Amino acid sequence: MERGRSFSFFTLEKRTGRDVPFTTPRLSPQTLDFRHKKVALDRKTAKLTLVNRLVMWLGVSALYLALFIPTWSLASSAPARKPRVGPDALPAAGVAASLLGLWLEVTADVVKAHDKGRDPAGFSRGCVYRLCRQPNLLGEALFWWGSAAAGAPALLAAARAGGEGARAAAALALAAAAGVAAITAILVGDSRKKTRDQEGRMRGKSGWSEFAARTPPLWPLPRRGGA
């Protein structure tokens, strides 16, 4: 740093010796909330031991490996050489469900960013948020379910074909099913946590009680009593 010039959070002293007030830009409530959550997450992560980190990394890696088994099976299968199991349209329907899930996730994020820009303390209620309050989680569930459906016929066909690879194919099918069940449980748990947090923050907010009453948190199923 040059002689005669120093920097601090509050003042900026120039060579002339004149102190110029230094102010930080005003942060939006959304940015402040993100920073608070990040600080809390960093503190929680810092307490993890090396063993905890390794278990977490290996667990996440195994989960996503299991989730991608159906996609790998579909891409590497040779339908002409293997007996067909299940409807021929199932792979196409699975791919369509995965694409729909991706569209839901992207659209939900875009709509939420737009709404937060207009009202940082508000909530999204239009477009895909008419289906449910957490369409991004619903989209991720559709993506993984669609992936599993697309690759299921190839996996089951390999398992039923017999031979040396039948047991391996059966094991892969079980691993894929376990992966889909695990990610579904994770998404449901995340949804419950987000629901509690959102209901606590939005309590008393104009329009929230009506929106929450008619819009389910995650699964867009008909309400009882025709609601």
Q: What are phi and psi of 49, to 5 degrees?
A: -80, 170
Strand 19-21 and strand 6-7: pairing? unpaired
What's residue 107's pLDDT? 96
Sign of the C-alpha dihedral, residues 172, 176, 177, 181?
positive
Give mean pLDDT, residues 9-23: 47
Give yes or no for a contact between 150 and 79, defined as CB atoms under 8 angstroms apart.
no
In three state form, how does the secondary structure of 31-84 look?
A: HHHHHHHHHHHHHHHHCCCHHHHHHHHHHHHHHHHHHCHHHHHHHHCCHHHCCC
Is 15 domain-assigned? no
| Domain assignment of residue 2, yes or no | no
Domain range holding 56?
51-222
Q: How would residue 178 be classed by pLDDT, with cut points 50, 70 and 90? A: very high
In a domain, 118, yes or no: yes
Q: How confident is the model at residue 1 (pLDDT cuts 50, 70, 90)?
A: very low
Residue 39 lies in a domain: no
Confidence of residue 180 (pLDDT cuts 50, 70, 90): very high
**Domain assignment present for 8:** no
In a domain, 77, yes or no: yes
Q: Model confidence at 27, in pLDDT bands (50, 70, 90)?
A: low
What's the pLDDT band for 85 if we cut at 50, 70, 90?
A: very low
**Number of domains forming the structure of the chain:** 1
pLDDT of residue 7: 43
pLDDT at 9: 40
Give the highest mean pLDDT range of 74-83, 158-167, 180-189. 180-189
pLDDT of the residue at 203: 84
Q: Is the pLDDT of residue 163 over 90?
A: no
Q: Is residue 10 part of a domain?
A: no
Distance CA(145)–CA(130), nearest Å, equals: 22
**Is 44 contained in some domain?**
no
